Amino acid sequence: MKVTDHLAAAKDTLFSFEILPPLKGRSIASIYAGIDPLMEFKPKFINVTYHREEFIYIEREHGLLEKKAVRKRPGTVGICAAIMHKYDVDAIPHLICGGFSKEETENALIDLHFLGIDNVLALRGDAVKSEANFRAHPEGHAFAVELIEQVQGMNNGAYFTEGQGQDPTNFCIGAAAYPEKHFEAMNLETDLHYLKAKVDAGASYLVTQMFFDNQRYFDFVAACRAAGITVPIIPGLKPIKSLAHISFLPKFFHIDYPTDLSKELLKCKSNAEVEQLGIEWGIAQSKELKAAGVPCIHYYTMSNSTSVRQIATEVF
């Protein structure tokens, strides 16, 4: 079932969350362990991230280094199929531009279509760790809007690889949105311009980057509506869980903490104190968003559901 159909049928704010595939060589048991505690809140869909290749260097004879691409978290498509089979819940795979040609993307979409997966979240993706800036695959897409255009093209029966009698797909396409603007955007106005281009290309709902100040989300939604973006905008939340998160999250995700939260974080002396504060802040955020009638609240669990479960117990 499409995300947009779930949202249209809902009589109250929906609950959803996102998980990471396990590291290569780990079993799917860790995924189930993170999902099981959240099923009582009846998620309508579960997102599964996709991770591009990383590069390692292997020393060979005469001191030469061989550059080798590895994928540390494969398995997104298989995990989506397993989730749908085990829980009877829609699974949403992330699609990324980085590391994939257009033909590889087409083949992945064909596999997803065969599996009965109705939704995809189309993202540009991040740069590899060894590169300062994002670099597209030579035969791939440089921007999320181009990826969305390819998915929408297949929905219209237009494949990258031309053939006879190609059947159209029917994917519901989601895209990312940034209440504090994408860090590469010149300003919020240009960011909204590119966001509208993704919607015009075929994205039928948006999921936001994490934020910790609800007013940023409310103002962002108002700005989107003023710019002519009318699709549902799902807020994404992540509970802070450790002392390391205090500096890591703003640095890596280019977000700000509101003053009230930052003052409380500075008082924390242990991971346990940070985690408890993250739960309390997440509850307050979620209750305010739910009271405002948001279509769904999407939680970034990083496959660790303990904090999200405590938040959901108080909110859903």
Rounded percentage of the chain residues whose pLDDT exceeds 70: 90
User: What value does the mean pLDDT take over residues 211-227?
Assistant: 98
Per the model's pLDDT, the better-predicted residue between 25 and 264 turns out to be 264
For the stretch 87-146, pLDDT in tens is 999 999 999 998 889 999 999 999 999 999 999 999 998 766 667 677 778 888 999 999
Number of domains composing the chain:
1
- The label of the residue with tokens 């519901």 reads 172
CATH number, domain with residue 22: 3.20.20.220
At residue 113, the pLDDT reads: 96
For residue range 273-291, list pLDDT tens digits in order. Answer: 999 999 999 999 999 999 9
pLDDT at residue 82 in the model: 95
Judged against a pLDDT cut of 60, whether residue 56 lies above it is answered with no
Q: What is the pLDDT of residue 54?
A: 56
pLDDT higher than threshold 70 for residue 271: yes
| Residue-averaged pLDDT of the chain | 91
| Domain span holding position 250 | 3-315
How do residues 8-23 score in pLDDT, each as one tens digit? 999 999 999 999 998 8
